[in-house]
Amino acid sequence: MAASARAFVLRHTRLRPVPGLEEIRLHLADEVLPLWYAVQVETGDPDAALPYWAFAWAGGLAIGRYLLERPEAVAGRRVFDLATGSGLCAIAAMRAGAAEATGVDIDAFAAAAIGLNARANGARVTVLRRDVLDEEPPAADVILAGDCWYDARLAERVLPWLRRAQEHGIDVLVGDPGRRYLPTGELIELAAYDVRTTTELEDLELKRGQVFALRAALPNRVD
């Protein structure tokens, strides 16, 4: 699957600069529906996931911009990019001077795309293809979570996992354009950017992408 997934990604994308982060180049698609159909045909699965990996999402773009402005957030540190998609946040972290970066995603095509994208940017990114949300927090100093709050079930699992990571002393940076399941009460805004995406994915080409830290958990009250 790995070699054919790589060939599939190359066939359906074009390597190009990321809007607003032109120093990073990714294998990106122009249109979502034909590619989604091609994924369904390739996998024989009519319920195959949307090809998230072929786009730079607003949450990841916001994290990328933040790391460009504030490289000290990751410089010299071990970075874990949850739901990495194209690998955008992991690659941005390496460009900002991270000691190492791991990108995790459940999608086989994402795993292929991250490898190709990391190589295109001369960045070393370790790729994990599995669901880590029932596991203990990773051996990392910073977790990046770009655009993870679009699905109720995923959102429900991401927050406790990020909280556990925070309790283990791991810094958490969330990037998001205000998706439906974003737990705003749990977050502190660090920065906001107008990020350019595509109306293939969003209602508007320019979205307001925010970067947040996770609010410290309140100690349990004992009355």
Site residues, ligand SAM (CB under 6 A): 49, 52-53, 56-57, 59-60, 83-86, 88-89, 104-107, 110, 131, 133, 146-147, 150, 154
Closest to ligand SAM by CB, 59 or 115:
59
Closest to ligand SAM by CB, 77 or 148:
148
Closest to ligand SAM by CB, 205 or 216:
205
Number of H helices, E strands in the chain: 6, 9
Closest to ligand SAM by CB, 59 or 138:
59
Helix axes 88-95, 108-120, angle to 10 degrees: 30
Looking at beta carbons, which residue is closest to ligand SAM? 60
Least distance in Å: CB of 220 to ligand SAM?
A: 28
Least distance in Å: CB of 49 to ligand SAM?
A: 6
Least distance in Å: CB of 20 to ligand SAM?
A: 13
- Alpha carbon distance 85, 61 (integer Å): 12
Least distance in Å: CB of 42 to ligand SAM?
A: 16
Structure tokens at 196: 């350019």
Closest to ligand SAM by CB, 47 or 223:
47
Beta pairing partners, 214: 187
Burial of residue 179 (number of CB atoms within 10 Å: 0-12, 13-18, 19+): middle
Least distance in Å: CB of 181 to ligand SAM?
A: 12
CA 118 to chain centre: 14
Map tokens 């066939």 to a residue. 11
Biggest CA-to-CA distance, the chain: 62
Least distance in Å: CB of 105 to ligand SAM?
A: 4
Closest to ligand SAM by CB, 77 or 104:
104
Judged by DSSP in three states, 175 sits in: strand
Q: Report the 10 Å Cβ neighbour count for 104.
A: 24
